[in-house]
Amino acid sequence: TAGKPVILNSAGTVTQVAMVSGTESFTFSKGSATALVAADTSVQLTSCFDISAQRFILVYTNSDASNYMYGNVVEVDSSKVVTSREIDTIISSSNGGETPTIAYDSANEKSMLAYASGPNSNDLRGKVLTATGSGLSVGAEVVINTSNNSASRTKLVYEPTSGKFAVSYKDQSNSSYITAQVGTISGTTSSWGSNTLISAAGTATQIGLGAGNGKVLFLTKDSGNAGDARAGTISGTTFTLGSPVE
């Protein structure tokens, strides 16, 4: 509520960061604008950077192709010239991959994609993506949460110490409570632990999700815009949660 940033400590506690008065200016250079996708992406777009392949992975729904989900591999050279390479179909069913979110796994050198499956009552599903020299290699679809409308306001983050993912969402099948699961990539597929309740306030909204040092920080706000932070330690396939901090 103080409007200041916080730090997630190794003990799982949260420390408010003091603000320093004064300003500092930064400059940057930019290249020319490049059209990455000629189609109407319907603003459902997500991306991550593949450190191993040194390429960006861009995922989007294509409104010009029945809202199928597509993926591009994007390269940027030293002169800031952007090249979007080879379009791959990730899901070839109408609205099969809505509100996508993606995060990169530096240990397995692969990316995890999570999305709502429209033809399956918007349950939460995922696929493992691997950037290749010719495009993308797409793993088999995995159901993360079978509940209808579970994939609402989904956020996904990779936690490097544990080598696992955390996915959080408003589970509309359970009073719109904010819920989270732990995921792991193995080969070209993923496995997910059981649901963990993060906030039992149906009016709560997710505003952020961060991870590091084996822990995950869940940031939420209520209908009055009061913010809460709650830290969780990844323990196997689930979370051990601390108390919420306002």
Q: What is the pLDDT of residues 80-110, one digit of tens each?
A: 778 877 677 899 888 888 889 999 999 999 9
User: Which tokens is 214 given?
Assistant: 């084996």
Residue 8 pLDDT grade (very low, low, confident, very high; cuts 50, 70, 90): low
- Mean of the pLDDT values across residues 228-241? 92
CA angle 152, 158, 163 (to 5 degrees): 135
Name the DSSP class of 20: -
Task: For 25-77, write each residue's pLDDT tens digit.
Answer: 666 677 777 777 776 666 688 999 999 999 999 999 888 888 889 998 998 88
Spacing of C-alpha 105 from chain mean position: 11
Residue 220 pLDDT grade (very low, low, confident, very high; cuts 50, 70, 90): confident
Spacing of C-alpha 102 from chain mean position: 4
Is 172 buried (19+), middle (13-18) or exposed (0-12) by CB count in 10 A?
middle
Residue 206 has pLDDT above 70, yes or no: yes
Residue 19 pLDDT grade (very low, low, confident, very high; cuts 50, 70, 90): low
User: Which tokens is 28 given?
Assistant: 């940057």
Residue 20 has pLDDT above 80, yes or no: no
Q: CB of 37 within 8 A of CB of 72?
A: yes
**Distance between CA atoms of 175 and 24, rounded to whole angstroms?**
45
Task: For 132-183, write each residue's pLDDT tens digit.
Answer: 877 899 999 999 998 766 566 789 999 999 999 999 988 888 888 889 999 9
Q: What percent of the chain shows pLDDT beyond 70?
A: 82
The per-residue pLDDT for 53 is 92
Q: CB within 8 A of 221, min separation 6: which ones?
A: 204, 205, 207, 227, 228
Residue 234 pLDDT grade (very low, low, confident, very high; cuts 50, 70, 90): very high
Residue 201 has pLDDT above 80, yes or no: no
